[in-house]
C-alpha cells in the first residue's frame, strides 16, 4: 500500500488510537520461531507487555504459549490462545509467576496453568503439594544477584532488597529436601530491553550460585527482557547460552519475552488540539539572546497523554519515536508536545518539524504496541485510545472503541 493511500485510510480512524501492525508482529514471530527451530528452546509470550488477544491465535501458531503474572492473564491465555489452538490440535503452554498467590485465586490458576513458578520457599511449602497433585510443573524463581541494569533501577530485580526471587543465602537457609523434590525447574528474570551479552553474564552468576542444583532439574527459564527482535541483537550468542544449559545440565530451556513479540509493531495516532507560543528557547549555542518568534519553542497540546496512554514515557523515562520529526532544533520548527490532562508533567517530549504544526494535524508515534494498552488509564476522565489492527494485507480493522461507560464502570 502506498503512503498516500495509507494516510488517507488513517485519516478516517478516530484519535487517539493504537494501531497494531500484523505484518510487523509476524516478522518478529518468525525471528523467534527461528531461534526455537535452531535450538529447541521454548519461547512464550509475556502477556504483561502485550495482551492484544485478537492476535493470540496467530502468536500461538509460532510460539509455545504464554506466561502470566496472575489469574486474569492466565485465564486470558487459556480462553484466547490455548482454546482456539486446541481446536486445531496445537498444544499451548500456559505458565504463571507471581510474587505471592492469593488463596482464593489458586484453585482457578490450577485449572488454567501448566507451569507454576513460586517466589519463595514459603510459597512452595504453602501450595507446592497441591500443584504437584494437580499434575503441574513447579518452579522457583531465583535471584542471581547480578545487576546488569544501567539507569533503570525500577526494573532491576537484582537491586539490594529485591522482593523478586530467592538469593543464594535464602535458598540455602530455606532449603528442605521435601520442598526441593517438588521442583522441576528454576526461573530467573533480570533483564530489561537488553542484549544477550547481559544474559551470558547473568548465566555465569546463576551457575556460580545455583549450579549444584541445576543437574537435578528438568528445565530452566531465562525469563524476559531479551530484545531478540531488535536490529543488531546478538542472536548467535543467545543460542550459545541456550545450548550451554541444554548440553551441560540436560535442561529444557524457556524464554518469555514480551517486547520482542511486538517490538516496533504498533503506532499511536493522535491529533493536535492547539498550538501555543512561549518564550522558552533552546540551548544557548543554538538559541542566542534574541531569536525570531518562529524559531522559539512552542507548545502543542495533543489529544493523547503521556500519563494516560504511554506511561512508560514518564516511568522509564524515554522519548518515543515520532514520524517525520527530528531532534529539538534539528528542523525549522520545534515543539514541546504535551497531553490535555491537568498534570504539569504530562509531556511527551520535544520534537522538530519541517513545517509548522496546525490544529487538526495528525501525528504518529511509533513502537506503541508494547506496554501501552496494558498500562493505560483514565486519569482526568481521559478516554482510552481506540484499538485498530492493520492486517497483513494493509486493511484497517477497528477492534475496539472506548467511551464514557468504560471510564465510569472502572469506578
124-132 long-range contacts (CB < 8 A, ≥24 apart) are: 124/179, 124/182, 124/183, 125/176, 125/179, 127/101, 128/179, 128/182, 129/182, 130/106, 131/182, 132/182
Round to whole Å and give the CA distance between 107 and 110.
Answer: 5
CB–CB of 363/272 below 8 Å?
Answer: yes
Please tell me the predicted confidence (pLDDT) of residue 293.
47
Please tell me the predicted confidence (pLDDT) of residue 12.
85
Please tell me the predicted confidence (pLDDT) of residue 54.
97
CATH 3.20.20.10 maps onto the chain at: 23-262
Q: Is 402 exposed, middle or buried (0-12, 13-18, 19+ CB in 10 A)?
A: middle
The dihedral through the CA atoms of 268, 94, 34, 22 has a sign that is negative
192-240 tens-digit pLDDT: 999 999 999 999 999 999 999 999 999 999 999 999 999 999 999 999 9
CB contact set of 319 (below 8 Å; sequence gap of 6+): 313, 348, 349
Round to whole Å and give the CA distance between 279 and 358.
Answer: 19
Helix, strand or coil, per DSSP, at residue 163: coil
For the chain, give the number of residues.
411
CATH 2.40.37.10 maps onto the chain at: 3-17+263-408
C-alpha cell at 391: 492486517
Please tell me the predicted confidence (pLDDT) of residue 281.
56
Q: What is the CATH number of domain 3-17+263-408?
A: 2.40.37.10
* pTM score, whole prediction: 0.93
235-282 tens-digit pLDDT: 999 999 999 999 999 999 999 999 999 999 999 999 999 999 765 555
Domain 23-262 has CATH 1.10.357.10: no
CB contact set of 90 (below 8 Å; sequence gap of 6+): 60, 61
Please tell me the predicted confidence (pLDDT) of residue 316.
86
> Which regions of the chain are under pLDDT 50?
284-286, 288-289, 293
Please tell me the predicted confidence (pLDDT) of residue 288.
45
Please tell me the predicted confidence (pLDDT) of residue 318.
87
Amino acid at each position: 500500500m502506498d503512503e498516500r493511500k495509507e494516510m488517507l485510510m488513517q485519516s478516517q480512524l478516530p484519535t487517539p488510537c493504537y494501531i497494531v501492525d500484523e505484518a510487523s508482529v509476524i516478522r518478529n514471530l518468525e525471528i523467534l520461531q527461528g531461534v526455537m527451530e535452531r535450538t529447541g528452546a521454548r519461547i512464550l509470550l509475556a502477556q504483561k507487555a502485550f495482551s492484544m488477544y485478537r492476535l493470540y491465535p496467530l502468536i500461538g501458531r509460532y510460539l509455545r504459549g504464554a506466561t502470566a503474572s496472575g489469574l486474569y492473564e492466565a485465564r486470558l491465555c487459556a480462553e484466547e490462545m490455548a482454546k482456539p489452538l486446541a481446536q486445531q490440535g496445537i498444544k499451548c503452554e500456559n505458565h504463571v509467576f507471581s510474587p505471592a498467590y492469593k488463596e482464593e485465586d489458586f484453585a482457578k490458576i490450577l485449572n488454567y496453568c501448566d507451569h507454576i513458578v513460586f517466589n519463595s520457599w514459603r510459597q512452595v511449602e504453602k501450595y507446592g503439594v497441591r500443584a504437584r497433585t494437580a499434575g503441574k510443573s513447579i518452579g522457583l524463581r531465583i535471584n542471581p544477584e547480578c545487576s546488569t541494569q544501567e539507569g533503570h533501577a525500577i526494573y532491576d530485580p537484582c537491586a539490594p532488597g529485591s522482593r523478586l526471587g530467592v538469593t543464594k543465602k535464602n535458598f540455602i537457609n530455606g532449603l528442605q529436601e521435601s520442598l526441593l523434590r517438588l521442583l522441576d525447574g528454576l526461573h530467573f528474570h533480570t533483564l530489561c530491553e537488553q542484549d544477550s551479552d547481559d544474559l551470558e553474564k547473568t548465566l555465569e552468576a546463576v551457575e556460580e550460585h545455583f549450579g549444584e542444583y541445576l543437574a537435578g532439574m528438568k528445565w530452566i527459564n531465562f525469563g524476559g527482557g531479551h530484545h531478540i527482535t531488535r536490529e543488531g541483537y546478538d542472536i548467535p550468542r543467545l543460542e550459545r547460552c541456550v545450548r550451554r544449559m541444554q548440553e551441560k545440565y540436560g535442561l529444557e530451556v524457556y524464554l518469555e519475552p514480551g517486547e520482542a513479540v511486538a517490538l516496533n509493531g504498533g503506532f499511536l495516532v493522535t491529533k493536535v488540539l492547539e498550538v501555543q507560543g512561549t518564550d522558552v528557547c533552546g540551548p544557548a549555542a543554538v538559541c542566542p539572546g534574541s531569536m525570531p518568534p518562529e524559531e522559539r519553542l512552542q507548545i502543542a497540546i495533543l489529544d493523547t497523554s503521556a500519563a494516560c496512554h504511554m506511561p512508560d514515557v514518564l516511568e522509564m523515562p524515554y522519548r518515543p519515536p515520532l514520524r517525520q520529526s527530528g531532534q529539538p532544533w534539528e528542523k525549522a520548527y520545534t515543539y514541546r508536545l504535551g497531553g490535555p490532562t491537568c498534570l504539569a508533567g504530562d509531556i511527551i517530549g520535544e520534537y522538530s518539524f519541517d513545517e509548522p504544526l496546525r490544529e487538526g494535524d495528525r501525528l504518529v508515534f511509533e513502537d506503541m504496541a508494547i506496554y501501552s494498552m496494558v498500562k493505560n488509564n483514565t486519569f482526568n476522565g481521559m478516554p482510552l485510545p481506540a484499538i485498530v489492527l492493520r492486517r497483513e494485507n494493509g486493511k484497517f480493522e477497528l477492534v475496539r472503541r472506548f467511551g464514557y461507560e468504560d471510564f465510569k464502570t472502572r469506578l
